[in-house]
Each structure stands twice: as C-alpha cells, then as structure tokens.
Amino acid sequence: MKRILLSLLAAALSLPAVADEGMWLLPLLKQQKFPEMQALGLKLQDYDIYSPDSASLKDAVVIFGGGCTGEIVSPDGLLLTNHHCGYGQIQQHSTLEHDYLTDGFWATTRDQELPNPGLTVTFIDKIEDVTDYVKAELEKDTDPNSMNFLSPKYLNGLAKTRVGEKFLQDNPGTEVEIKAFYGGNVYYMFTKKIYSDIRLVGAPPSSIGKFGADTDNWMWPRHTGDFSVFRVYADANGNPAEYSESNVPLRPKRWFKISIKGVEKDDYAMMMGFPGRTNKYYTSWEVAERRDIDNAVRINVRNLRQEVMLDEMLKDPSVRIQYASKYAGSTNAYKNAIGSNWAIKKRNFEQVKKEEQDRLIAWSQDNDESDYPEALSTIEQIVSDRKDLRFRSWMLDEAILRGIEFTKVPSDIQAVSEALKGKDRSEQQKQVRLLEMAYHRFADKDYAPEVDKKIAKVMLKEYRRLVPAKSQPTYFTLIDKKFKGDVDRFVDYLFDKSIYGSEENFDKFKTRPSVKALEEDPMILFAKSVQEEKSNLNAALADFDAGYAIAHRMYVKGLLAMYQDKANFPDANFSLRLTYGQVKGYSPRDADYYSCQTTLDGVMEKEDSTNWEFVVPARLKELYAAKDFGRYGMPDGKMPVAFSATTHSTGGNSGSPVLNANGELIGINFDRNWEGVGGDIQYLPDYQRSIIVDIRYVLFLIDKYAGAGYLLEEMDLVE
C-alpha cells in the first residue's frame, strides 16, 4: 500500500505544467520546483521559504478573515492586505459623520486602532503529509458510496484524533485541519493558530483604494492603491484572545522586510497565499457546463441587478454607503464569469480537455486499465443528468436568494407563535423582542427597503421568464392567481402587507402581535417557499455528489498514473501555496501591448470628477504636481503605482505578499487581468497576469499622503 501511495505522490509532483504555471505546496518545493525557481533568479534556499523546524517566510503569511491573504510587516504585528479585503470592516466603522470609506482612516496612536468583532487572522504553524494515516482510516469504511474521503467533518475529526484533545487544550487558539488534494488521492494536515483581536490601523480613501472601481475591475493597466493596514493583538503571553484593552501587539515569529528598490521587466517575483478554488481537472463536459449554465446565468442576472443597484447608489449618498460592499461583491463575480467564458472560447478549453481525455483512454487501453475510462463515462452521464436541476439551482441562487434581500427575513416563527398562543404575557413579550432583534439584524444600517423592492421586481421578472412555472417555488403561483402575472403589484403587496415591509409595519405588529399575522405574512411565506425549493434542489443535486466525487478521484488518479514523468500541482483549496514567475506585461490583442508598470501619471490621466470611480483626491493631486514622491519615486522621476507578473493566482490570493528574489516584499496582489481568469481551468501563459499594487506606492501613500510615516518606523525597509 505504501509503495502505491508513494508512486501516486511522485506522479502528482510531475503532471505537465508550463513555465510560471502552478500553485505549489510548500513542503514539496525542494524536490518539485526549487531548481527552476533558482534558475529564474531566486537567491534564497528552500528552508528560507519553508522550514518545518524553524521560522521561515511562510510564518509571515496569514489568512485574513475568511477569504483573503495578508502579510505581517513588523515585529509588532502590523499587517497589510487589500483595501477590498478590509472593505467590510472599513464600511462597518463608517457613518455619515465619519465616512472612512470616502475620507480614509488613520490611527495616530495605538489607542485609536479600531476593533473588528468577528474578524480573524490565521497563521499556519505546521504542514504534514498524512496520506497514509487518512487512507488507513478510510479503509475501515465499508460503504462504497461514502464521501468521507472528501468530507471536512470526517477529515477534521481524524485531525483532532491524531493530535489529541490535550494538545488542543494546551494550545489556546489552535485548530487542526486535514485537506484532500488531487481529488482525494493525497492528504495534508495543517496546524493553525487563529487570532481574533484584529484592529484597523489605516486605510486610504476609496478614491485611492478602489480607484477605477468596477470599470477597472479585472483590468490592466491598473492604478488602484488597493491596500489597508491592520494589527494583530494577543494576550500578554502571545496567545490568541478576544478583544481586550489589556491585549498587546503580537510578536510574530517572522515578518517581511520591505524593498523600496522597485521592480523591472523580467525580474523574479513570487507570491505566497491561500488560493481558493481552481478547476484544473475539469473534464470537457464540465467546461461546457461551466460556460453554458454557471457563467451564463451569473452574467445575465447580475448585470440586471447591478444596473438597478448602481442607479440607486448614484441618486443617494446614504444608499451608496449602504450598498457599496454589496455592489462590489456582485461585480467581482460578474466580471469573473465574463472572463472565464472568454478564455473557454479563446483557447477552446472544451476541446483541450477532450483531447486529454482521449489520451487517457488510449493509455488505459495500452495498459489494460478499465477504471479510468469508466470514470470518464460516469462523469459524462452525471453532467448530462443534472443539467436541468443545475440550471434551476443557479437561477434560484442568482435571481432570488442572492438577488432579493428579503428572502432572508426571519422566517422561523415557531417560538413566537407558541408564545402568542399561550397566556404567559412575559414570555410573549420576550419572544416578540427576540423577533424584533432578528428583524433588525436583517434590516440593518446597510439595508434599504425601496432598493430591495426595485431589485426584486427585476429579478422576479427574469426568473419567471427563464424558469418554467412548474419548477418555481410554490408560493410564486400567487403571482398569477391573485395578481394576473403582474410582478410589480405582487412585490408591492409583499412590502405593504408584511410585518417586515417597513419599520411602521413592524411597530404595528408589536402593538398587537398575533399568530394570524405571522402565519399569513407574505414575506415569511415567500421566504419559506424559496427555502423549500432550494432544499429540494440541493437534495436532488446531492444524489449525484458521491458518484461524481468517486469518478473524479479515479479520473485524477488516472492522470497521475499517465503523466508520471512530468510536473504538476493540485487544485487550489484555500491551503497555503507558492507561485512564482516574472514581472511582465502582455499583449491582449493584435498590435496592443501593455507594459508591466503603471505610474501616478495614469491616475491623473484617468481622473474624471464627474464619475465617482475616477475621482482623484486633492491632496494626491498636490503631491503629484509638486513631484513630492520622497524616496518612493522611480529613477525617471515618476511615481510607481502597480505592476503585473506571470504568477498563477486566483480568488483567495487577494492581499498576498509578492516578493523579490531575496524574499523581500515588493507588492500586494489584488487582482487578475480579465484575459487570465480562465486560468482557473487552464493557465494562459501569454495572457494571465497577477495585478499587484507596488509597495512603493503603498509606502508613499502612508507616509506622504496620509502623514502616517510613524508606521514605517516599525517596518524593516531595504533601500
């Protein structure tokens, strides 16, 4: 058994990969890619980047929140990430009186640093190959359709068993996690330390941190100062602790030195971070499914929703603040879907995957292997059988569940209904108060009922146009029965009659609460019906999960066996990875070439005082006019803003540190170009570029623009 596992791992290390492609696991760098990295210019040893026994660069890389990367840049726990990663926290601290989204924020003392309940920063203490251990446990499972080999609950249970309860009790804030790689053919365990006292130190105004906003999102050339500054706090012993005034800045194992020497074309660059998800091992049928269902639905529905949202944001400053983060999140996935479909067509991914499948089938025949072709046949049948269900699920998600906010009204009314049926007055008051609290969690400061109403009308019309009536939530029959198909009147009715339709409606309910009002409430009935339909779709689609996962694992196993003498990496799964390449521009189309470096000149060229996306702050214009760039300017007198590199990144790499050949911080990754989004399926060497804010621009903005140069005093700057 062990020989088989080792041969599989050896094959996994060697599937075919082109130059600059790859999201590499740190424990495998030495035997897998390190000679190539040094040949490209790296000046470090493998143990400088990753060492299981001592501090290394990996100890300065963290998970920021639930989906971004960050980096530690001082011995006092100072952390850099993207502005868009910290956007939710900046928004939460913003009011009309203190509009940090518009004006920026800088703490002049540590007492002014702002706490962020719910925000965490996670360090990776240890990474171990536990393939033998996991597979030995899996062999005890007699169910041939078991999904335990991919189940986070099962795998994390194994992780806790492996380290023991005492280890976790003796190490506060420590968690262990086992992740599956290569479809469940290889396993690694990650020991993590999670800090929960994270404070906002500084952020530029959105006119810098979000310059170009949605117009420039996924685009190059780029001119965005996409960064924010936080600090990690711990208890007096350096252990994770909830927010307390007695907590102190964390003394980290390692922090990055920062180079202000700058970058040039073809310089070595590498990025460390937590890429979220890729689909390198898609079959041709899954490529078509992604193009024709997932991406097509998302592009269509989000475009309609965003048009309404943006129109309302431009009309009202309060709505702009309320919906800024929602709009940004929506457009992020929208443009990703557009870029993905462009790449699928441009490079004919469907045909490329089919050719790989044909090679595997031919190889299997030559080697008397029937399991791999059978796995492919199973995947083809599953994708075909789930087509209608998948379309309905995507439409329900995008148009209704994500599209209409009032689908999330408090709909669990059992407790309050039971109380109202009884005679205990104090219990009735208590349950109504709890319901009111739940309502205000839904209708919080970032919710505008009139905006939700307008969006709902557009979303419901599109949903009903594309999804057959028999496949819609049952409550939707009311639209035809009572309103003769008039969606506008139906939505107005929901808001007029529901206790959640307005503050006034809820206040009336509080005055005279009744079971009848709850049981007949149209928004509650709407939400429950949508939830029921989603539950039914999930259950129907889940019937395909085990068969697909087992077939996919076998298909990937076949690829590992076929490509034994060539190199590769597992799909991203939000585990710590390294990608490397060079600082480079690219040619998006015939006769066009984009340089690898942008400057402050481009910010001024894009300025448009009539368009909120391209407003330039007066202070930045003053510094530009005076050419007051300090030590952060380029030799030619220009101020660098961003650069592009061939590193292979995806969602989750937002905020990732970008390092030079000496392991010094030269930038913060914040995006990919639109033409490279398809790299989640297959790397595009001539198109794919990571978009990185130049660390010199970050330091210039902290020092010269914000006047927060005191923060630089705790950093190690290399000139």
Q: Which residues are catalytic?
A: 84, 226, 654
CB neighbour class for 613 (10 Å; exposed up to 12, middle 13-18, buried from 19): middle
- At 468, phi and psi to the nearest 5? -55, 145
- At 194, phi and psi to the nearest 5? -115, 120
- Contacts of 487 by beta carbon, 8 Å cutoff, 6+ apart: 457, 460, 461, 464, 479
- 3-state SS of 259-291? ECCCCCCCCEEEEEECCCCCCCCCCHHHHHHHH
Residue with tokens 């803003």: 641
- 3-state SS of 317-330? HHHHHHHHHHHHHH
Element (H, E) at 580: strand 577-582
Q: How far apart are CA 566 and CA 329, in angstroms?
A: 38
708: tokens are 């927060």
Three-state secondary-structure class, residue 692: strand
Q: How far apart are CA 664 and CA 507, in angstroms?
A: 58
Cβ–Cβ < 8 Å for 552, 434: no
Running DSSP on this structure, what letter comes out for residue 498?
S
314: tokens are 């431009």
CA Rg value for the chain: 27
Q: How many CB atoms lie within 10 A of CB 87?
A: 21
Let me know how many helices (H) and strands (E) the chain has, helices first: 29, 21
Running DSSP on this structure, what letter comes out for residue 572?
P
Element (H, E) at 35: helix 34-40
- Contacts of 94 by beta carbon, 8 Å cutoff, 6+ apart: 100, 101, 102, 321
Running DSSP on this structure, what letter comes out for residue 586?
B
- Contacts of 263 by beta carbon, 8 Å cutoff, 6+ apart: 269, 583, 596, 597, 643, 660, 666, 667, 694
Three-state secondary-structure class, residue 212: coil
Strand 577-582 to 24-25 pairing: antiparallel
CB neighbour class for 397 (10 Å; exposed up to 12, middle 13-18, buried from 19): middle
C-alpha closest to that of 20 among 652, 641, 701, 586: 586
- At 672, phi and psi to the nearest 5? -125, 160
C-alpha closest to that of 263 among 690, 717, 659: 659
Which amino acid is it at 388?
Answer: D
Cβ–Cβ < 8 Å for 395, 297: yes
Running DSSP on this structure, what letter comes out for residue 641?
E
Running DSSP on this structure, what letter comes out for residue 56?
-
Residue with tokens 């939710």: 88
Cβ–Cβ < 8 Å for 646, 581: yes
Q: How far apart are CA 469 and CA 392, in angstroms?
A: 11
